[in-house]
Amino acid sequence: MPDIPLLSGQDGARLPAIGLGTYDLRGADGVTAVGSAIDAGYRLLDTAFNYDNEGVVGRAIAQAAVPREALLFSTKLPGRYHRHDLARRAIEESLFRSGLDRLDLVLIHWPNPRQGLYAEAWRALVEAREDGLVSMIGVSNFLPEHLDRIIGETGVTPVLNQIEVHPCLPQDDLRAANAERGILTEGWSPLGNGTDLLRNATVERLAAARGVSAARLLLAWSVALGVIPLPKSATPARQAENLDVFGIELTSDDLGELADLATSGRSSGLDPATHEEF
Ligand SMILES: NC(=O)C1=CN([C@@H]2O[C@H](COP(=O)(O)OP(=O)(O)OC[C@H]3O[C@@H](n4cnc5c(N)ncnc54)[C@H](OP(=O)(O)O)[C@@H]3O)[C@@H](O)[C@H]2O)C=CC1
């Protein structure tokens, strides 16, 4: 089993340098898939209220041979629960659905800037942490102005900001903005959602030159940038492959070639400045 490095964040937080994406892992097959990922060595499990699979991840944790305290259950608060009282209710609902007595990490899923309630939601997360329902709190898809507003209003800095990151969208400015504020960056869709990026000619050539798969090359790139990637796979062999990335050294020439892919943009098409998710 690979030794996964830990990254240090706010308030002494220690987070694994890679986690499992669980979008679309549902039902009994989902429990089996999350279970095989835990067996392979994943310790950080990324779910969301809106993925409708907090129970799947919770059940896999309950069935795991690994002690509960070694695993990090990370979920996200949806936009329709941003109002202060509703945010607390969503956290209680996530606890109920997961079957856990504590959520290790809760993120605000999207800032929804036109809705404009994300600072209320943040206050509710701060209080939930004070009350012991949640151990760590963070955000997702936040831009610098959203970060500054919640930090300014509460004095509490998110442990991490989970954003779309892959070579087509390296997010240099946003990653730097996170780092300046002492916030770790988690990367969603690190494989570009499993579509074109895995077949990109540059990615394939650099991967072949090292004798690794395109997926491992992409994840090694995330790790080299200090981003915590969250690859999703339902397949045990791929889950194991995706963890085996910590010995892959990329040269500055490799990083330069991958930087040239940055023009292609978002695989999701979702821009946090305009996207609203409920
Ligand atoms: N905060 C947010 O707003 C968002 C967060 N996320 C999070 O990020 C996670 C990852 O992003 P996601 O969009 O799922 O996409 P990924 O970039 O992780 O790609 C997943 C796809 O790649 C395939 N795949 C995985 N490993 C390999 C491999 N080694 N070789 C070939 N194909 C592979 C998977 O197929 P298979 O399963 O069949 O192996 C799946 O189709 C999500 O699951 C979710 O947890 C995602 C979107 C938004």
How much is the pLDDT for 224? 97
Q: Residue 121 belongs to what H/E stretch?
A: helix 118-130
Phi-psi region of 77 (alpha: psi -120 to 50; beta: other; left: phi over 0): beta
- The CA 31 to ligand 1 mean position distance, Å, reads 17
Distance 37 CA to ligand 1 centre (A): 13
Q: Is 81 considered catalytic here? A: no
Active-site hit among 42, 51, 81, 118:
51
ipTM above 0.85, yes or no: yes
What's the pLDDT at 265? Answer: 73
Question: What average pLDDT values come out for the chain (278 residues) when binned by 10 residues?
Answer: 92 97 98 98 98 98 98 98 98 98 98 97 98 98 98 98 96 98 98 94 97 98 98 98 97 96 81 94
Residue 43: φ, ψ to 5°: -125, -20
Name the closest-CA residue to atom 6, ligand 1. 188
> What's the confidence (pLDDT) of residue 264?
63
For residue 145, give both structure tokens: 């102005």
Distance CA 110, CA 276 (A): 7
Q: Which residues are near ligand 1 (CB < 6 Å)? A: 21-23, 46, 109, 140-141, 162, 188-194, 198, 213, 215, 230-235, 238, 241-242
- Choosing from 20, 212, 232 the residue with most ligand 1 atoms within 8 A of its CB, the one to mutate for a pocket test is 232
